[in-house]
Amino acid sequence: MKKTLFHVLLLCLVSTYGQRQAANWYFGENAGIRFDANNNIAALNDGQLNTIEGCSSISDNDGNLQFYTDGKTVYTSTHAIMQGGTNLVGDESSTQTAIVVPRPNNPNIYYIFTVGSNNSNNGMKYSVVDMSMNGGLGQVTI
């Protein structure tokens, strides 16, 4: 039942992203999946995440990976730590440590919203990623 529900949710999410911003997902222990333009799925094993809970990935409108994060560290499309991409305050024990939201009308700016744990005073914070920096690999600017 859980597996079926996961596949239904996955299909709904992928089909709602006509611009392919959800084409690459990185999660778990160095795992990932990629959806091509026909929604065929391919396994990825080049991710740097090692998390059992919340994480987030974002691709551009053409499905090219931009970056991914576990709420503490941000990784570029080349799987290196993004410039300024350490010490975000997301907590691995929160259900959704981080979520990435593109800035409307600006394809270079993304917001990473992070949530701390119940045991911290971090609450909800945000960081800004500017993809026009660092040769197109992006930089966390705030």
Q: 96: burial class by Cβ within 10 Å (0-12, 13-18, 19+)?
A: middle
> Considering the entire predicted model, what is its pTM?
0.80
* Of the candidates 9, 49, 6, the residue with the CA atom closest to the CA atom of residue 26: 49
Tokens of 82: 């993004």
Distance CA 62, CA 77 (A): 14
7-11, 66-70, 97-101: which range is least confident on average?
Answer: 7-11
Contact predicate 26/55, CB 8 Å: yes
Tell me what pLDDT residue 9 has.
Answer: 46
CA angle 37, 39, 34 (to 5 degrees): 85
Please check the confidence at residue 2 and state whether its pLDDT lies above 80. no
- The average pLDDT across 42-67 equals 90
Q: Higher-confidence residue: 40 or 1?
A: 40
Distance CA 63, CA 106 (A): 17
Closest CA relative to residue 65, chosen from 57, 56, 73: 57
Among 85, 68, 78, 83, residue whose Cα is nearest residue 24: 68
- Region 66-87: mean pLDDT is 95
Using alpha carbons, select from 102, 100, 70 the residue that is nearest to residue 86.
70
Q: Which residues on adjacent β-strands are paired with residue 83? A: 139
Q: Give dist(CA 107, CA 72) in Å, integer.
A: 23
pLDDT of residue 68: 93
